Structures are given as C-alpha cells and as structure tokens.
C-alpha cells in the first residue's frame, strides 16, 4: 500500500487525501436539508484527466483580459490575505466556505498556499452540488514561481525570446520580477538557490472580508 501511494503523482496524492478528509468532514456535518450523494467514479475521472484545476498562467491571462466569468476564492487566513492576495480574489477562509454565498453554477477557482486546503475545499463544494469548481494548480506557491517571479535562463536561445518576453511582461504586470539564472548557467548555480524577491505591495479592502466579485449579468443557484 505504501509503495502504491508513493508511486502516485503529487496531484493524485492530494486528491486522495482530500477525498478521505472531505468524506470525514461531510459525514460529520451533512448539508442542511438532506443527505449528500457522491459519484466516486465521476470524481476520479475528473482528477485523472486533470480537469479540476486552472494553471497559474491561465489565471493570469484571465485577470489581464478582465474576464468576469469566474470567482477566485482565497482560502487562507486573514493575516496571509492582507499580506498578499492574487488580484480579483475574494477572501473566504476554509472554515467559512460552507456558509459563503456562492452559486452552484458559477465557475469557482480555489487557492491556498499549496494545494491541500484547496483540494479539501474542492471536494466539499463538489459534494454539495457545485458544478464548476477548480483549484489553482500548485496554489499561491506556484503563482509566485510561475507568474510573479518566474525563473528565466541567463543565456536564452533566440527561439525563446518571444515567449520569455511575454513571461516577463506578465510578471511585471502583477508587480513581480523575473529571476535570472539556472542549472546550465556559467556559474553552475541552481534555480532552487535563487532568492525569492519581496512580494508586491497590495492593499486589502477596507471593508468586508475580501474583494468584491466582478459584476455579473446573471447569478444562478445559491
């Protein structure tokens, strides 16, 4: 059993842990008004084809485009949210998620620092009948590494110029700074050894617990 678990990918391990923890939480606190029915096969299929997440680059593009067809949910505690949050995010601590007004037919993107809390929240909402629930792959840690402070080669090939230029522009759009260097550079340095720059300064909303959701023409469910 241990060897089988170790052979799973990180996403698969998180999904399995979330399944177990979520099942316990739901059994202890069933949704008001009746029992919860889950289709384990459907959930497994979603996880296996990785249809349950949004990548940091996809989310960055949505924000830059000003899309209003999703809600970004920050599940961390208040201090962490005030220190930094991804633009457009609403602050909904995990313990308040069940009571927070979310539409069952809305597209919801969940994130925490890594992936465990977001995976737990994903399972909870799926169990309560929410259809369009996703997690930010890698959470805020991946957002830092891939969007705010992407790692760029010190001596890029000419063919990489356009894609790296785009990546740099995205990083700066969000107040980040690309880090330059890599395993193949002249100094033999390691990407892991590159320092993490200071997080961009953000201002949490003065009122309420998070940012306001973008205006929508129609809201379905409750």
CA 211 to chain centre: 16
- The whole-angstrom separation of Cα 66 and Cα 60 is 10
Residue 174's pLDDT is what?
A: 94
Q: Nearest CA to 183 among 162, 142, 155?
A: 155
Looking at the domain covering 2-143, what would its CATH class be?
alpha beta
Provide mean pLDDT across the span 177-190: 60
Write the pLDDT tens digit of every residue in 16-73: 555 554 454 444 444 444 345 555 555 554 554 455 889 999 999 999 999 999 999 9
Write the pLDDT tens digit of every residue in 91-134: 999 999 989 999 999 999 999 998 788 988 998 898 888 989 99
Mean pLDDT of the chain: 75
**Residue 84 pLDDT exceeds 90:** yes
Confidence band of 204 (pLDDT split at 50, 70, 90): low
More confident of the two residues 16 and 137:
137
- The whole-angstrom separation of Cα 124 and Cα 28 is 12
Residue 186: C-alpha distances to residues 21, 154, 181, 189, 196 (Å): 47, 9, 9, 8, 21
CA 56 to chain centre: 7
More confident of the two residues 81 and 38:
81
Residue 11's pLDDT is what?
A: 53
Domain ranges of the chain: 2-143, 150-193
Residue 43's pLDDT is what?
A: 53
Predicted TM-score (pTM) of the model is 0.70
Percent of the chain with pLDDT over 90: 42
**Residue 169 pLDDT exceeds 50:** yes
């Amino acid at each position: 059993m241990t060897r089988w678990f170790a052979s799973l990918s990180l996403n698969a391990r998180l999904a399995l842990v979330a399944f177990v923890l979520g099942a316990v939480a739901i059994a202890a606190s069933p949704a008001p008004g009746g029992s919860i029915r889950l289709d384990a096969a459907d959930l497994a299929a979603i996880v296996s084809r990785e249809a349950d997440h949004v990548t940091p680059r996809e989310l960055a593009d949505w924000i830059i485009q000003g899309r209003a067809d999703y809600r970004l949910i920050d599940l961390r505690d208040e201090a962490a949210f005030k220190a930094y949050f991804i633009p457009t995010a609403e602050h909904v601590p995990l313990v308040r998620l069940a009571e927070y007004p979310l539409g069952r037919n809305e597209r919801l993107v969940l994130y925490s620092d890594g992936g465990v809390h977001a995976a737990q929240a994903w399972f909870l909402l799926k169990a309560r009948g929410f259809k369009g629930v996703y997690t930010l792959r890698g959470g805020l840690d991946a957002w830092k590494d891939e969007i705010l402070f992407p790692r760029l080669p010190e001596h890029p090939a000419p063919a990489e110029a356009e894609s790296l230029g785009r990546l740099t522009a995205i990083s700066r759009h969000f107040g980040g700074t690309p880090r330059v260097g890599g395993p193949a550079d002249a100094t033999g340095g390691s990407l892991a050894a590159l320092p993490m720059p200071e997080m961009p300064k953000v201002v949490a909303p003065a009122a309420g617990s998070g940012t306001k959701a973008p205006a929508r023409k129609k809201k379905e469910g409750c």
